[in-house]
Structure 1
Amino acid sequence: MTLSSERRVVQISLIRYAEEARWEYLSPGDALSRRGGLSQPFLRDVLMAKLQELNPGVITSAEQADDVIARLVRLRPDIEGNREAWEYLKGLKTVFVQAERRERNLRLLDPQQVEANTFHVTDEFRFHIGPHKIRADVVFLVNGIPVILVETKAATRLEGIAEALDQVRRYHREAPDLLVQTQLFALTQLVEFFYGATWSLSRKALFNWREEVGANSNSPRPDFETLVKSFVARRRVLRVLTDYILFARKDGELSKIVLRPHQMRAVERCLSRARDPQKRRGLIWHTQGSGKTYTMLNLARLLLETPAFQNPTVLLIVDRNELQSQLFQNLEAIGFGKVHLALSKRHLRDLLEADTRGVIVSMIHKFDDIPENLNARANIFVLVDEAHRSTGGDLGNYLMGALPNATFIGFTGTPIDRTAHGQGTFKTFGADDPQGYLDKYSIRESIEDGTTVPLHYQLAPNDLIANREAMEKDFWAAAGLEGVADVEELNRVLDRAVTLTNMLKNRERVDKIAHFVAGHFRTYVQPMGYKAFLVAVDRESCCFYKEALDRLYKEAPDRYLPPEASAVVISAGHNDPPHIKRYHLSEDEESRIRKAFRKPDENPQILIVTEKLLTGYDAPILYCMYLDKPMRDHVLLQAIARVNRPYESEDGRRKTTGLILDFVGVFENLERALAFDSKDVSGVVEGLEVLQERFAQLMAQGRAEYLPLTAGKTEDKAAEAALEHFRNKEHRETFYAFFREVQEIYEILSPDPFLRPFLEDYERLVEMYRLVRSAYEPHVPVDKSFLRKTAKIVQQHTRTSQIREPQATYEIGPAALLALLHEDKPDTVKVFNLLKELHCLVADEAACAPHLIPIGERAEEIRRHFEERLISAQEALQHLDKVVRQLQTAQEERRSSPLSPQAFAVEWWLRTQGTEAEKAAQTAASLEEAFARFPNWTISVADERELRTRLYKALLSLGVKEIVAWADRILDLLRRAIE
């Protein structure tokens, strides 16, 4: 068995493991029959039965069940409709019961009793509405409802996951009536297994599925069987569908979130801790950018919804006004019901004394001097955000003394450190666990999973870096600086550092840095399509930077950014002077700026900030942080985490790292700036010189392994040598991975004098990559795989490839193909030119000329044999010569044939199987009436059955023995032409 078979190696294996996980398999035909047509998403008979079974006294007849199905079918085919479909699954929708004259909740599934549900899996799931037709590889259905869609790719496809994601995106465009019901999708090529939420299709929302055995780097990598069975475990699927999907509305736009494995794991462990009467503490240590807030809010929701907790009180504790506002926005966004906000110390005391149930949001300072034993109930759960600073000192003692039997769960995104804050967090929340935490998700794990990207820093030119003497005296040596936990505390330190602050705000220095930032952004950041933060020392300096940037534009509009490209976002003070007050923003204006900054084609492109947006603001497009504010410890880690969010543009270009450009010198001594014992920090924030070293290593490898393939040869011989070397599939995949890494680093470093000695060789590697991809991956647009700065090289420097690019300006036909056979080019180059043109011809014309498909298949077979070195280039040309002449004969006969395109395709296919031309034509002609009578056979089960019956009779008359197999192949041929 070949390992390159997608269906046999990946798809069939996935279904087999799903069956072993107790999903019942339905063949495509059976599933289609039970759906009632290609435009129907549900297994109708299953859903109708389950609606009545799960809703006794509510759905009492087939007519009522049918009405519910009609409501589901009418959902808006977009994310809004998908949210409504999820509300049906979660049991939040109602139906009116006439006999009781009231609304009753409707259940589509039973998440508590797994066996009360039916689980089906099917493949080759065709869905047609309107002009578009899709065929999903695998679909999982619960109670007849499609809930998970899986796209599989061959294990040998290097970019299989990216291609599968593109297909899922296409399904959303072309079959939204199916995707509105589906809640999750998965992509796998055996080696990798990713998943995401439907209607959330950016690369950053695609997550790596890892079973717990593979969550630790010391554990063995989970195999495909383990990944599949853990992902489709029936109880887990029900749990994810009902508990771990969230819809949130941010800046007016609805988004969808599915929790990641580490988030689900943390929630489950917290719920177990909440049930344990012997343990009342827990620490969730999840790195910045890993979705900590959604983990906490989902836990709060499940605590409230779980009957075992008997209508509890959930206290959400923060320590700053801004975090309280963000928390409220998140609660509102995900649709929490009644939330009590503690407006004052007295109000908080009243809420607790009154035994208030539900959610209470409070800032930690409101517990100051609160009486002990205020509420001794055990079903009180206190979730403390930013626990490394919220419960320091007496405030934590007051909180825990007031609620002596409550369970306290702390959440922190910052590693446990050796400072007083870290030790206090560890001691307060981690005492019930030997390792000090209930659940941990480290920076390194998040980078490995792709939930965050690594960070690099670069020191600004020496003349722009802050005065080192002032930094030492006023910042590094400031009393109480070590372990600084939040921006407000940091600001108090800086307020005392008068000399340093005034030096940083010196107008001449501000002008110089503004000049540097404007040039750097236009040269390095803007060409990649990303955005930046400029972090100033205080609110006044933010205003100074904005004025300096705008002044530069007035002086030289062609060299600098216009005023609308930058914006100041600061807190407003009542007593601010006019030069600061002019940058105050209304709530609506700030919301507009936040929203626009996240979008690639909208201004602003640089946000100038000092405190606001340094915590809690998520803008994945943010790539660069210009840091002109002294920071360290938790504050520094939180701030730079703004740039560690993964991002992928609509054209598929990915952010692979974040950059911090340091104007104050905090990164000159990284150990002092991030004073953590944890090894998780080391190696994930590195100087830009690390990338330079890596680029030099890779280029040395390229010069040793790849460039010699073409060195000293004429252009055609060079192309032939490269194509011959890369006939080996493993060689190609290794080269593709090598080139991607080189290209990503080049994108970050360019332009830089450092690159000059490598530039010519890099351009040669770009040419080689383009040549190989164009030859061996004809269906993949090569230019899409180039990042922006490399694409510019392609446009400006690379020569025309020896492998022909697809031409739309002339008609590809037998004559043109025969001409290629006689070109004055090496045999290897001629082989790929012919294969490329044949591929384009079949792709362009198969829909109206299905007889071309077998010809294309023969060409692909020749390609495969040539790549696997089963035949030589000369033998491949001989085979291709026969294919082209066969094509010429077919085209000539097609022009004179009276048969329809479908019938002629049947005739030609029969001839390829050795049937005499006259008998093949007679058989095909006998089917014309059937094709005319059953034109909808591809979307109608009844029509397909009738057509198949007539095809059986025709083949029987022809003397065919394997009637069913031949009929299947003919119908598959015709179906593929249509699709």
Structure 2
Amino acid sequence: MFNEHTVTENGIIDRLKNLSGGKWTYCHGESLPKKAQDIFVDEWLKDALCSLNPAIDKQPDYADEVIHKLRGVMLEAPHSGLVRANENFQAWLLAEKTLAFGENGEHVTINLIDFENLDNNHFVVAQQVHYVAAGEVFFDIVLYVNGIPLVVGEVKSATRPSVSWQDGAADFMGGKKHYWQHAKAFFVPNLLCFASEGKTFAYGAINARVKDWGPWHHTDQREDIPDTLASVLASTEGLLNPQTLLQLLASFALFSTHKTGKDTPPKRIKLLPRYPQFETAKQIVERVKQGYPKKGLIWHFQGSGKSLLMLYAAKMLRADNELKNPTVLIVVDRRDLDSQISETFGGADVKNLIKVQSCKKLGEHIEQDSRGILITTIFKFKDVEIDEHNLAGLNSRDNIIVLVDEAHRTQEGGLGEKMRWALPNAHFYGLTGTPISSIERNTFKLFGADEDPGRYMNRYSYKQSIRDGATNPVKFEPRLAELRVDREAINEEFEQLVKDNNLDEDEKATLSKRAGKLAVMLKAPKRMEAISADIAEHFTSHVKPKKMKAMVVVYDRDACVQMYYLLGHMLGFDALEVVMNLDQAPVKDENGKLNKDWNKWKEELDLPIKQADFERWQKFDGEEQAQKNLLETYKDPKQPLQLLIVTAKLLTGFDAPICYCMYLDKPLRDHTLLQAMCRTNRLYEADGVVKRMGLIIDYLGVFENLRTALAYNPEEIDGIVEGIEKFKELLPEQLKLCLAFFPNVDRTLAGFDGILAAQECLPDNKKRDEFATAFGVLAKLWSAINPDPFLTPYRQDYKWLAQIYESVRPVGQTGALVWAALGPETIKMIHEHTDISRIRDDIDELIMDEHAIFTLTEKEQEKRARRLEIDLMGRLRGHGEAVFVELGERLEKLRREYEAGVIKAIDWLKGLLDAAKDTVQAERETGDPVVTEADNKQALTKLFLETRPETTPKLIGDVVEQIDKIVNATRFEGWQNSNSGPREIQKALMLTLAQFGLSKDKDLFERAYAYIEEHY
């Protein structure tokens, strides 16, 4: 007959008895040399104590004393709780306890297990183990190591269709049997429990909920794993072999303090790794010990536990004596990730943990050779100054291991380069759920070792994580908001605006381009009202009844504020909160008054924002503890806070399992899209509520980008990475080509004289464009290769060329001034003629689960290939005349896409500015215009053209032209009333002067500003 005993139980035991390497000796429960009320097999435990402890071997009676103390730990469980007692017992198992058994009463370490030599231990698999405590139980399978029950398994029948591994797991967690409650003492020494019905297999730590149990496979198993006895036996062999179990016990069984809600006391939990974490942490340690290659890319899908993986790897690296007290540097790229990692490590009581608080402190820790685990953000490397002549960096030790979380985002470019210079011999491991493969940004090039097939060391895909129950599937539900734009009315009013304000073609194009951005349409009041009403209705009817929560992702900070007030009036303000970056913010309070604390905000929002709200949001942004308290409130099901409104913050590194739904009203692509949607894929189980799927309500058709975001083509990645390597051959020649524009120029000459000498080699626009084209190619080559030591000998020349390029590039600040003057009026005009026709809910849903097929069609592959075939040696587009594209046409297009030597010369210029200022003043007093509409020149330009000496450098003419462009922008009616007016003008002037190497000449700045000011 086929039943749980003959199939599942006997099958597992048979496989364990016949393992290669460390084997289990079989013993039926009736034959165990112990009484039913005993937990240990004392006879085996005594033998182990004597063989592993010389002091006890000399005095065997000491073994009884140890066993007595171990039994004392068992008795703690009813009082301290099972987890705390288990943690105390684990200290004995890991030889962290000593007793006075040495000579003259010296304390010696007590060894219960030999972790180094497996053959010195006694491994027994027992069947139907009888145990009597408060009640009587028979455990199906118990694995004893040296007489200590480390593993308990519960099995069910393979032939009953309604039975699964969860029925076996339920015997531990509840019901009549509820082993962890009714047979608590037996589980004090427990490492793990497992359950199977002969088709599937799962394991969990004591007191784990169903969601915390997991399967045991190998990350190479990409496809579906059949529900068969063969797969169960493979899992049995992989997890329950003696070597793996003792590795889990020695390095992976952790205890952590876990907070479930704002007002609930912290809870102690036991953590065991999922197999990708176990496998990868071991790979990292082995590679570091091997010494080569000194890098690796770990590509594990979002939500599958990268923070814990880093914790396991860091602990193992620190504990390995061969590595001689290494430094492990955990690098993240955002404050919320920093907070999440610190919580994970801090909760697990990790020793020698240092949270680096500042750039200065980071430099000190590295230079002072701090050992331990350092947690920092990549931005703390910004103050590191690269010294090309110092190849030893700040610390040249080779036992520094850098683990970089979210490796795709800020590792390319300057910060990554500084980090690698500071630590030239360190090992670098990048962990990401969403690597990037493009010319300018390439995670595979940066962290992927050539020796690794596919350029990743370990990969755990979204399909695997969903298949294994590590993350939930995610459903995309398109609810497209269709816009209606009155193109003719907008064109007509815009042309009138241009005419009324006498804008030239450049200014007209600037205003059109900025007003025609998608943001202006997405934030049209009628559209925001319709979206917010839809969110409120959907949340009330679909999310709240499930007792879970949601996030709203909108275009920018302005939209965050609008959405907060709109939803607040419908759902109540205690149900929602805004979390956003406030380095830029609105400047008006609800009474239209300027608040001095708001001056740092760069752009004014014409929104009635309450000062109390602003100050609260500022607190969440600026104070780590305030944000932490807010997020704990959000995660607590008992708290009224239901929705978080965000635009960029919390889209990565924010782990809130209670978040079921995301309302997405922001265009996201590729890795950013995957990062954001995975806020909803976390497992959640509380008070009878179990989350089985995450939900994205998509107002923009973003889900269409999902297929390409998930597609992976190893050949394409190899091609790009190899291409980048070839660029190293091209860069020296391109650098030489750029330097050839400046024959005999002294590149050590600083300031105005140095820039003037260089600019004299570019006398006209044609020559400037040629240089800009050549430098554009060089910049792309540099960006593709960086960071790489290859660039070190070229860095000084490149830096000089970059500064010259900036000095000849048009500043474009007048565009910002035109926008500050006319932007609000233009936006208002567009909003008045933009409406929403309907929100469509008739588009097919898309469910991203383990069965979803995301392969690129041929057409998509061609499109992608074209995008990646970047001809770096091609010419950049020239600086031709700006061509005005009708604003209405641009909006229409967006709508469719949306739905689918010269000190004397300088002194002369200063005098000219004074004269121009006096001229304007005289013009105002006499009413006799010096500048007429006919010639349309500003006073400074007119005087310059009439009086310039023949030898005046072209540079001076350029300065004059730029200053008068600023004047032109300041002459709009009502400009004086702009809160940001003087600040914007000073900024534009400073940037203009800096472009020409004149920013340090305060006298020139003051005279130029006085001239501009006279036009008010």
What TM-score, normalized to structure 1? 0.61
The 2-side partners of 1:240 and 1:466 are apart by 62
* Aligned-residue offset at 1:154: 0.8
The 2-side partners of 1:84 and 1:659 are apart by 42
Percent identity (aligned)? 31
Checking the alignment, whether the CA contact within 8 Å between 1:139 and 1:148 is kept in structure 2 is: yes
**Structure 2: 5+ residue stretches without partners:** 260-265, 489-512, 584-596, 602-610, 718-840, 850-1016
Checking the alignment, whether the CA contact within 8 Å between 2:568 and 2:575 is kept in structure 1 is: no
Paired letter, 1:608: I
Secondary structure of the 1:381 match is strand
Which of residues 635, 638, 644 in structure 1 aligns to 2:675? 638
The 5 Å alignment of 1:663-674 reads 663-670=699-706
The 5 Å alignment of 1:22-37 reads 22-31=23-32, 33-34=33-34, 36-37=35-36
Counterpart for residue 233 of structure 2: 225
Secondary structure of the 1:390 match is coil
Which of residues 331, 339, 342 in structure 1 aligns to 2:353? 339
The 5 Å alignment of 1:879-890 reads none
The 5 Å alignment of 1:697-712 reads none
Deviations 1:606-628 (A, max 9, x none): 33333343222222232210112
Counterpart for residue 940 of structure 2: none
Q: What is the aligned-residue RMSD (CA, Å)?
A: 3.6
Counterpart for residue 872 of structure 1: none
Checking the alignment, whether the CA contact within 8 Å between 1:287 and 1:415 is kept in structure 2 is: no
Checking the alignment, whether the CA contact within 8 Å between 1:464 and 1:663 is kept in structure 2 is: no
Which of residues 433, 444, 450 in structure 1 aligns to 2:469? 450
Counterpart for residue 614 of structure 2: 580
Paired letter, 1:65: V
Indicate how the Cα distance of structure 1 residues 428 and 154 shifts in structure 2: closer, same or farther if over 3 A, else same.
closer
Paired letter, 2:191: Q
* Aligned-residue offset at 1:545: 3.1
- Are 1:352 and 2:386 matched, yes or no? no
The 2-side partners of 1:309 and 1:502 are apart by 56
**Structure 1: 5+ residue stretches without partners:** 470-494, 553-560, 695-979
Indicate how the Cα distance of structure 1 residues 211 and 630 shifts in structure 2: closer, same or farther if over 3 A, else same.
closer
Deviations 1:489-539 (A, max 9, x none): xxxxxx988954455445554443332222212222233343221223344
- Number of residues paired by the alignment? 648
Indicate how the Cα distance of structure 1 residues 69 and 512 shifts in structure 2: closer, same or farther if over 3 A, else same.
same
Counterpart for residue 407 of structure 2: 387
Larger Rg: 2
Checking the alignment, whether the CA contact within 8 Å between 1:533 and 1:608 is kept in structure 2 is: yes
Which of residues 144, 148, 155 in structure 2 aligns to 1:145? 148
* Aligned-residue offset at 1:455: 1.8
The 5 Å alignment of 1:617-656 reads 617-649=654-686, 651=688, 654-656=690-692
* Aligned-residue offset at 1:390: 3.4
The 1-side partners of 2:485 and 2:685 are apart by 35
The 5 Å alignment of 1:318-717 reads 318-367=332-381, 368-371=384-387, 372-374=391-393, 375-418=395-438, 420-421=440-441, 423-463=442-482, 500-501=518-519, 503-539=521-557, 541-552=559-570, 561=571, 563-570=573-580, 575=598, 577-583=611-617, 584-585=619-620, 590-600=627-637, 602-649=639-686, 651=688, 654-670=690-706, 689-690=844-845
Indicate how the Cα distance of structure 1 residues 280 and 148 shifts in structure 2: closer, same or farther if over 3 A, else same.
same
Secondary structure of the 1:519 match is helix
The 2-side partners of 1:71 and 1:255 are apart by 21
The 2-side partners of 1:26 and 1:497 are apart by 79
Which of residues 284, 290, 298 in structure 2 aligns to 1:284? 298
The 5 Å alignment of 1:863-942 reads none
Checking the alignment, whether the CA contact within 8 Å between 1:627 and 1:663 is kept in structure 2 is: yes
* Aligned-residue offset at 1:217: 5.5
The 2-side partners of 1:386 and 1:240 are apart by 26
Secondary structure of the 1:400 match is helix
Indicate how the Cα distance of structure 1 residues 108 and 354 shifts in structure 2: closer, same or farther if over 3 A, else same.
same
* Aligned-residue offset at 1:441: 1.0
Deviations 1:192-235 (A, max 9, x none): 1111222222x321212225674556999854433322221111
Indicate how the Cα distance of structure 1 residues 590 and 404 shifts in structure 2: closer, same or farther if over 3 A, else same.
closer
Counterpart for residue 243 of structure 2: 235
- Are 1:13 and 2:21 matched, yes or no? no
Paired letter, 1:196: G
* Aligned-residue offset at 1:690: 4.7
* Aligned-residue offset at 1:127: 3.3
Secondary structure of the 2:408 match is helix
Indicate how the Cα distance of structure 1 residues 324 and 591 shifts in structure 2: closer, same or farther if over 3 A, else same.
closer
The 2-side partners of 1:282 and 1:260 are apart by 20
Checking the alignment, whether the CA contact within 8 Å between 2:194 and 2:203 is kept in structure 1 is: yes
Which of residues 106, 109, 124 in structure 1 aligns to 2:110? 106
* Aligned-residue offset at 1:630: 2.8
The 2-side partners of 1:690 and 1:572 are apart by 36
Indicate how the Cα distance of structure 1 residues 313 and 496 shifts in structure 2: closer, same or farther if over 3 A, else same.
farther
Secondary structure of the 1:435 match is helix
Structure number with the bigger relative contact order (C-alpha 8 A, sep ≥ 6) is: 2
Counterpart for residue 72 of structure 1: 73
Paired letter, 2:417: N
Which of residues 146, 155, 158 in structure 1 aligns to 2:158? 155
Indicate how the Cα distance of structure 1 residues 562 and 43 shifts in structure 2: closer, same or farther if over 3 A, else same.
farther
* Aligned-residue offset at 1:665: 3.5
The 2-side partners of 1:624 and 1:391 are apart by 31
Tell me whether 441-450 or 316-325 shows the greater mean CA deviation. Answer: 316-325
Counterpart for residue 272 of structure 1: 286
The 2-side partners of 1:416 and 1:183 are apart by 39
Indicate how the Cα distance of structure 1 residues 94 and 466 shifts in structure 2: closer, same or farther if over 3 A, else same.
farther
Secondary structure of the 1:389 match is coil
Counterpart for residue 85 of structure 2: 81
Paired letter, 1:110: D
The 1-side partners of 2:541 and 2:136 are apart by 44
Indicate how the Cα distance of structure 1 residues 679 and 281 shifts in structure 2: closer, same or farther if over 3 A, else same.
closer
Counterpart for residue 172 of structure 1: 180
Paired letter, 1:190: G
* Aligned-residue offset at 1:661: 0.6
Indicate how the Cα distance of structure 1 residues 218 and 197 shifts in structure 2: closer, same or farther if over 3 A, else same.
closer
Deviations 1:681-720 (A, max 9, x none): 9xxxx997256999xxxxxxxxxxxxxxxxxxxxxxxxxx
Tell me whether 640-649 or 238-247 shows the greater mean CA deviation. Answer: 640-649
Indicate how the Cα distance of structure 1 residues 646 and 339 shifts in structure 2: closer, same or farther if over 3 A, else same.
closer
Indicate how the Cα distance of structure 1 residues 142 and 378 shifts in structure 2: closer, same or farther if over 3 A, else same.
same
Paired letter, 1:17: R
Checking the alignment, whether the CA contact within 8 Å between 2:40 and 2:148 is kept in structure 1 is: yes
Indicate how the Cα distance of structure 1 residues 392 and 690 shifts in structure 2: closer, same or farther if over 3 A, else same.
same
Indicate how the Cα distance of structure 1 residues 502 and 292 shifts in structure 2: closer, same or farther if over 3 A, else same.
same
Indicate how the Cα distance of structure 1 residues 626 and 259 shifts in structure 2: closer, same or farther if over 3 A, else same.
same
